[in-house]
Structure formats: C-alpha cells, structure tokens
Amino acid sequence: MKFFVDTADLQEIRDLAATGLLDGVTTNPSLVAKAGRNFLELVAEICQVVDGPVSAEVAATDFPTMLAEGQKLAAISPRIAVKVPLTPAGLKVCKHLSANGTMVNVTLCFSAAQAILAAKAGAAFVSPFVGRLDDVGTDGMALIADICQIYSRYPSFTTEVLVASVRHPMHLVAAAKLGAHVATMPPSVIRLLFGHPLTDKGLAQFVADWQKTGQAILS
C-alpha cells in the first residue's frame, strides 16, 4: 500500500520524505491557500523533494480552461498527477490528458458510480473522500469496499483507489484491509501511525536495563 501525504507544507513534506516511507503527495486548493505560497513554484519544489506522484489540482471548472491548466501543470514534471474534479468536464479533461500519458487524479468522488466513470476515463487515481462521507452520516469505508470490489472485476481498469479525507489511523487500517492501493493522509495522521504506549513503555524498560549492563555496542 502506498502512503501519500495530504499537505502543501513543504517542511512537513521534507520531514516525512526523510522517513523513506512516503510514496507521493496530494495537494488541493484549500491546502495551497493555507501554505500561502505561489502554487506553480511550490509544486515544482515538491516534485524535487518526493520521488513519486504529486497531485496538483486545476482551478477552473470549464473544459477548455481546465485542460490548459492541466497541460501547464503536467509540464512542470512527469511526476505531476493533474487533479480534476469528478464532473463531466473534469472527466473529459481526464480522458484527454490520460491519452497523452499524463497521470490524472479524479477527486471529489463520493459514489461507486462516479468511480466507474473515473476508471473509464483512464484516471491513474480516483480519490474517494471517506472522512467527508462519515461527516454526513454515511459509511465512507463502505464506498472504498464497493470501489475495490468493482475495480477487481475489470482487469482493464488500471485506476488506483486513493483513499482521501483520511482522519485517523483506523481509516488507514480499514482501507488497507480492503486492498486500497493508496491512502493520502495529513501529516498528523501519518505521525499517529507510529505510536503505541506499549512501544514507549517497552523501550523505556529496555533502555534502563541496557544501562545496567554497563556495556556499549559502539566503543
């Protein structure tokens, strides 16, 4: 399973890339606004830090402008996955860009029917938002189960399920159990994955006991 970080904060991306566990980055207009940086410059810098797909979202909603924006973003780096909304125009852009070898991430997916459309449009990734579905009283993870099942029935569908709007570690674990290809998580959630109180307690004991031996491995 691939781990992407869902942020436009370059320092966070650098820190997490240093763990060697990061496979890519996703951004969206809200995250870019929060970063307060020039979008094109920021995306180019992210592509230099991470050796994997970097999702950069178009801003327009009409087909010709979205296509032109997508082409401009794709020219930044072959690592760019152009992010388009799951609308008729967005899927049309997806079809055009994918046919020319550009990775496309179809975002704002909230139903299995939409995910089928994204696969048919040749998307490299589809992004179902599990947290936002949970927020409105719907089972976000049930959507991931449906999409994974449907895609597995059609070998011609090469679209990867990129679980987005991940809010806590159990979203990640549930998505992994279902075989989702990718999860994109905020830095805070990725850091939570590492922690367990028994790990901390056990390590403190081992460190204390090792000191009692009076030995040093490196001397």
Work out which of 7, 28, 98, 159 binds ligand G3P, going by CB under 6 A.
Answer: 28
Catalytic-residue membership of 95: no
Alpha carbons 26 and 105: distance in angstroms, whole number: 9
Is 165 a binding residue for ligand G3P by CB under 6 A? The answer is: yes
Indicate the residue among 125 and 151 with the shorter CB distance to ligand G3P: 125
Tell me how far, at minimum, the Cβ of 135 lies from ligand G3P, in Å.
Answer: 8
Tell me how far, at minimum, the Cβ of 28 lies from ligand G3P, in Å.
Answer: 4
Indicate the residue among 6 and 69 with the shorter CB distance to ligand G3P: 6
Give backbone dihedrals phi and psi of 205, rounded to 5 degrees, phi first.
-65, -45
Alpha carbons 159 and 86: distance in angstroms, whole number: 14
> Given its phi and psi angles, is residue 137 left (phi above 0), alpha (psi -120 to 50 degrees) or beta?
left
Distance from first CA to last CA of the chain, Å, rounded? Answer: 40
Is 3 a binding residue for ligand G3P by CB under 6 A? The answer is: no
Token duo for residue 213? 């031996």
24, 20, 18: which is closest to 2 by C-alpha? Answer: 24
Q: What is the DSSP string of 130-177?
A: HHHHHHTTS-HHHHHHHHHHHHHH-TT---EEEEBS--SHHHHHHHHH
Residue 80 pairs in a beta bridge with 54
Tell me how far, at minimum, the Cβ of 63 lies from ligand G3P, in Å.
Answer: 22
Sequence letter at residue 43? V
Using CB under 6 A as the binding rule, the residues of this chain from 8 to 27 that contact ligand G3P are 26
Alpha carbons 82 and 103: distance in angstroms, whole number: 6
Contact pattern for ligand G3P over residues 110 through 149, marking x by CB under 6 A: -------------------x-xx-----------------
Indicate the residue among 191 and 199 with the shorter CB distance to ligand G3P: 191
* From 83, 92, 201, 212, active-site residue: 83
Indicate the residue among 28 and 152 with the shorter CB distance to ligand G3P: 28
Work out which of 6, 9, 12, 160 binds ligand G3P, going by CB under 6 A.
Answer: 6
Q: Residues with catalytic annotation?
A: 83
Binding positions for ligand G3P, rule: CB under 6 A: 6, 26, 28, 129, 131-132, 164-165, 184
